[in-house]
Chains A and B, each alone.
Chain A
């Protein structure tokens, strides 16, 4: 009974409030207010206060971050080092690695009978929490041959042991490989779905036209997948700029600070080290780096719509 009457009143309210003739739509603003409040309190306010916090010492935090903090950016060595440069490594190698292997697996999988099984296995790591994934790979990389899978394998060839996570020369490579293992399933699934969308007749037309398989891949498949590839790339880039959990679990930024990334630096400075304003400056840097990626993304979706 009461349910019906509520329904009736709200229907009435909609009718009176839904009129677009009156300039200010009271009913709409009423419904929007909670959402706007939530966004304001939990998103806009923290962003603004973080920015304000980061300017606590004027430009001091930023100057120190970009010129004096060798753990953030060190251009004096070759190759450069520091969290910012590590993140560049991640963006380049993790993204291309995921796309390369994702594409490879997607293409090869279409040629075998167990395609669903293969894709399920490759996708499985996506179902594992990044922290659990980190723990698994810490075991894989352990120098002790009884627990460390990789060093056990190297032992067969009388190599190593190598402390992959304890060696500044190896640590970033090792972490990026673990990261690729965790995300290649995502790239595989998306690219394989897109691959299914390419008409077999187009591929056959190319074959009849005289193309070898490698030429079909390079000149037909890759260009036709350029949109899904860029979607995957942008998603991975955004993920990797925010990367934190894997580093925290596997190396805690070490040895020393050699495997730090931006998000990890932000956490490290703001909390364990207690330099909240400095951490805030790192957070703002991260935002500044993300903005162009986001703009690119929005632009692309808009141009997609124009094409269609």
Chain B
């Protein structure tokens, strides 16, 4: 097992495209790190750099203590699960799993033992003679995983391995991969564009945007202390509400309404020039309908546009002084479209962002 270190790694395609821009990231031994970000942000490229399928333009990439910039993929002791699975179509499942071991001249009986073991873990025992063509999507996905685990490599690289599965299978497989990682404790870099996958699977999450690393941290860290508007909006579902507020004598005004602030937030507001604007952010699930006597809450007045009933909860779409916001509240209080209501937000759940730099002022 090994660490993976990106040391100022950049990957450019031609003079124009910078797919990965000065990435610094250290992945611990045995860690499950999720690389997440919107499509096209450079996740796959970063992963392919680790695999050795892309030559890096700048910087240094290390696996363990070894600099691998110029090491061929076959000598890096990594295994990769591709988004398309990339199974060998002319080989049986057994041969797909065994291919890497055969190339390493592993003794026959040992190949058999390791393939059987992997097949057992993944429930592939009865499919070993089939060709990939005769497998379902979920089965192919498991073969792709199996091909990685029989090799017992230093590092697993997975590129959106669940994106071709249907919703139900995705949830199941998510848990299976997590279980597999607990069992094998192999360093894993897992790429996804789905923040739910990232939140549920990662020991740590690295959020990327346009080739730039935005923030690295535990799921809880990213959820509670996003460093900028992008991470705040990307992590969490439904995503965070943002509203523009005015800095006023010792506080913030949302339209006509003055906002109650925590000491920290009040300090932030006091440091900004009066009359300037800041962006506030708050999560839908932290909003509640205001009870007359609540204290220690930020009061946010709004007019309800749409009510989406979800069963236990309902999603209220509302207009707060010209800002579209969403609230996730329990569905016992019947709110109707057109109602003027006050939402209550615990004061420590309010994030403040600089609208120019988009950086968090409260993180």
Residues of A within 8 A of B (CB): 199, 201-202, 204-212, 215, 219-220, 223-224, 226
Q: Is the CB of B82 within 8 A of A201?
A: yes
Number of interface residues of B (CB under 8 A): 23
User: Complex formed: what's the CA distance from A206 to B51 in Å?
Assistant: 12
Q: Could you jot down 26 A-B contacts, CB within 8 Å?
A: A201-B83, A201-B84, A201-B86, A202-B87, A202-B89, A204-B51, A204-B86, A205-B86, A205-B87, A206-B88, A207-B53, A207-B73, A208-B52, A208-B53, A208-B78, A208-B80, A209-B79, A209-B99, A209-B103, A210-B74, A210-B151, A211-B74, A212-B74, A215-B103, A223-B90, A224-B90
Find chain B residues with CB under 8 A from A219 CB: 99
Q: Is the CB of A208 within 8 A of B79?
A: yes
User: Complex formed: what's the CA distance from A211 to B73 in Å?
Assistant: 9
Contact residues of A: prevailing secondary structure: helix
Q: Is B100 on the interface with A (CB-CB < 8 A)? A: yes
Q: Is B168 on the interface with A (CB-CB < 8 A)? A: no
Contact residues of B: prevailing secondary structure: loop
- Give A228 Cβ to nearest chain B Cβ, in Å: 13
User: Complex formed: what's the CA distance from A199 to B84 in Å?
Assistant: 9
Find chain A residues with CB under 8 A from B209 CB: none
Q: Is the CB of B53 within 8 A of A209?
A: no
User: Complex formed: what's the CA distance from A223 to B72 in Å?
Assistant: 24
User: Complex formed: what's the CA distance from A202 to B99 in Å?
Assistant: 12
Given that A199-B84, A212-B74 are contacting pairs, would A206 and B99 also be in contact in the complex, using a CB cutoff of 8 Å? Answer: yes
Q: Is the CB of A205 within 8 A of B103?
A: no
User: Complex formed: what's the CA distance from A224 to B88 in Å?
Assistant: 9
Q: What 14 new A-B contacts, CB under 8 Å, besides A204-B86, A207-B74?
A: A202-B88, A204-B80, A205-B80, A205-B82, A205-B88, A205-B147, A206-B88, A207-B73, A208-B53, A208-B73, A209-B74, A210-B104, A219-B99, A223-B90
Residues of B within 8 A of A (CB): 51-53, 72-74, 78-80, 82-84, 86-90, 99-100, 103-104, 147, 151
Kindly report which residue of chain A lies nearest to residue B99, judged by CB atoms. A209
Kindly report which residue of chain B lies nearest to residue A209, judged by CB atoms. B100
User: Complex formed: what's the CA distance from A211 to B99 in Å?
Assistant: 9
- Give B352 Cβ to nearest chain A Cβ, in Å: 44
Find chain B residues with CB under 8 A from A210 CB: 74, 100, 103-104, 151
Most chain A CB within a 10 A radius of its CB, from B79, B86, B100, B151: B86
User: Complex formed: what's the CA distance from A219 to B74 in Å?
Assistant: 16
Q: Is the CB of B73 within 8 A of A220?
A: no
Find chain A residues with CB under 8 A from B84 CB: 199, 201
Given that A209-B99, A210-B104 are contacting pairs, would A224 and B89 also be in contact in the complex, using a CB cutoff of 8 Å? Answer: yes
Kindly report which residue of chain A lies nearest to residue B103, judged by CB atoms. A210
User: Complex formed: what's the CA distance from A211 to B147 in Å?
Assistant: 14
- Give B110 Cβ to nearest chain A Cβ, in Å: 15
User: Complex formed: what's the CA distance from A208 to B68 in Å?
Assistant: 14
Find chain A residues with CB under 8 A from B74 CB: 207-212
Find chain A residues with CB under 8 A from B87 CB: 202, 205
User: Complex formed: what's the CA distance from A94 to B89 in Å?
Assistant: 30
User: Complex formed: what's the CA distance from A205 to B103 in Å?
Assistant: 13
Kindly report which residue of chain A lies nearest to residue B91, judged by CB atoms. A223
Find chain A residues with CB under 8 A from B78 CB: 208
